[in-house]
Structure 1
């Protein structure tokens, strides 16, 4: 397969594109990254070094049937009309409540807490050059949390309430949407949770000056089923599940990554998007 070759399936089936996803390998020791310069450094390997050609399917024909509890993602209209994304305080004051309402309506959660947001644009990929909110598009097959880091995040954010909240179901959802224009470059690829067995999730250690964290990266498997929503508009939003405490068979983690869409127009507008990270309590 070539890196940027567009393809189409038989009539009546969803179109696909062919691209490259950055997977990780467990060969050679633990995967990790430092967000600061330590005096003593563990010998971590970088994530995303296993580049694999994959097919990514147009998910629009199935949009009404997708579920965050099954595939790990779903898409819905988002018509709040907010467009002041350059002002962080306004985002927190006016857009966060819209995101909370969106998550509650589509999950049935009794309480939803936003704990941060990120604006994505094409920038330097060196994590150390990023600001707290402005970050580059991420070209890495990953999921934001693990069975250890999910509950720890609840403890970090909710303090004394955490133990009572963790005694019931907790799930983390990202609300992901374009800022001002339809997505014409580097759309978000979504890996159907049913196609990723537990052994394909590899822990990546994140070392901060004041704490340790971890996320999942994905090990390649030809059984992974990737999908995306080409041309997604600003009045639409994805609901992505990145952690679920339930172990009853529903989706718990969903791998995702930006990718180079070979069908992007030559005069494409640069991708600008926001993701709101929330924890939902049931």
Structure 2
């Protein structure tokens, strides 16, 4: 496993929407997030088919209270190559994110264009979408927000996903050059996120020992993700009241081993500043590969 180290910052766009003027200013909140306390039990997650139930997790998980800082004041300075997450302003023509055809026809080209713009990639492949709802997600055929400190790909599963998606000759050519897996996470509701926001660990504070390989078991295959092992040095951030005009980019894999951030950690959490009866979060996470020549 390769250490996550410092890299030169990349330029950030200036079209990020400012926080809601009516929202209460907050520097940080304290909340509990589920980490692995240690590796005494091998972590394994069993994922049922969408709409069939909730995941079952093996592992010595414990809730740890962390301080999660408001990232909006530093949004323009965040870099995928340093922190492994960033905020971008992103208008969309999508009217209904629950319409799979509209996702294919409108959202996927928007995402491809955005990733090209933000990274300079020569080719972008949009390959997966997950709708998450905090209100009866399973019953409605979706997934619930993930309350586990994790990263979606590992040193092994990142390249394997490329092989799964591309023809063998193209996969071999792409794997010989730099490629990056980036998740696009956004609010699909018409109101700012009030429930179960997503928190992100600054990759500069992640040590190699903090990333534990976890088997991800489905009915037809087994993959791998990283689960975070608790480290008091982790620096947490979030974007309060994320709007429909914003998107968060999360780098979950980078093939380059030159000192830039390669992996990330993130988790949903309960924001203590949420209103007494918060609107249930509705979000989409879209997975992409950015390939470079």
Given the two structures, how large is their TM-score scaled by the length of structure 2?
A: 0.84
Partner of 1:201: 211
Match of 1:150 among 151, 158, 173: 158
Per-residue CA shift, 1:175-196, capped at 9, x if unaligned? 1110122111111100000101
2:157 paired with 1:140: no
2:56 paired with 1:56: no
How far does residue 35 in structure 1 lie from its aligned partner after superposition? Answer: 3.7
How far does residue 47 in structure 1 lie from its aligned partner after superposition? Answer: 4.3
2:187 paired with 1:178: yes
2:58 partner SS: coil
How far does residue 239 in structure 1 lie from its aligned partner after superposition? Answer: 0.9
How far does residue 14 in structure 1 lie from its aligned partner after superposition? Answer: 6.8
The gaps in structure 2 that reach 5 residues or longer are: 1-24, 50-55
Partner of 1:4: none
Structure 2 contact 38–60 (Cα < 8 Å) conserved: no
2:46 paired with 1:34: yes
Q: Cα 1:86–1:230, aligned 2, differ >3 Å: closer, same or farther?
A: same
2:143 partner SS: strand
Per-residue CA shift, 1:111-136, capped at 9, x if unaligned? 0001110111126798xx895xx211
Greater displacement, 47-56 / 15-24: 47-56
Q: Distance in 2 between matches of 1:33 and 1:276?
A: 21
Q: Distance in 1 between matches of 2:214 and 2:204?
A: 21
Partner of 1:166: 175
Q: Distance in 2 between matches of 1:267 and 1:45?
A: 29
1:164 partner SS: helix
Q: Distance in 2 between matches of 1:138 and 1:14?
A: 24
Per-residue CA shift, 1:24-62, capped at 9, x if unaligned? 13432311123469xxxxxx9624722101000000000
Q: Cα 1:205–1:213, aligned 2, differ >3 Å: closer, same or farther?
A: same
How far does residue 159 in structure 1 lie from its aligned partner after superposition? Answer: 2.6
Partner of 2:4: none
Structure 1 contact 186–260 (Cα < 8 Å) conserved: yes
Partner of 1:7: none
2:129 paired with 1:117: yes
The Cα RMSD (Å) is 2.1
Structure 1 contact 47–217 (Cα < 8 Å) conserved: no
Partner of 1:17: 29
Q: Cα 1:130–1:247, aligned 2, differ >3 Å: closer, same or farther?
A: farther
Structure 1 contact 19–260 (Cα < 8 Å) conserved: yes
Q: Distance in 2 between matches of 1:36 and 1:141?
A: 19
Q: Cα 1:193–1:173, aligned 2, differ >3 Å: closer, same or farther?
A: same
2:235 paired with 1:225: yes
Q: Cα 1:179–1:254, aligned 2, differ >3 Å: closer, same or farther?
A: same
2:214 partner SS: strand
Task: List 4+ stretches of structure 1 deviating above 4 A.
Answer: 123-126
Per-residue CA shift, 1:212-249, capped at 9, x if unaligned? 20000000011000000001110010111000001111
Structure 2 contact 46–57 (Cα < 8 Å) conserved: no
Q: How many residues align?
A: 260
Given the two structures, how large is their TM-score scaled by the length of structure 1?
A: 0.87
How far does residue 168 in structure 1 lie from its aligned partner after superposition? Answer: 0.3
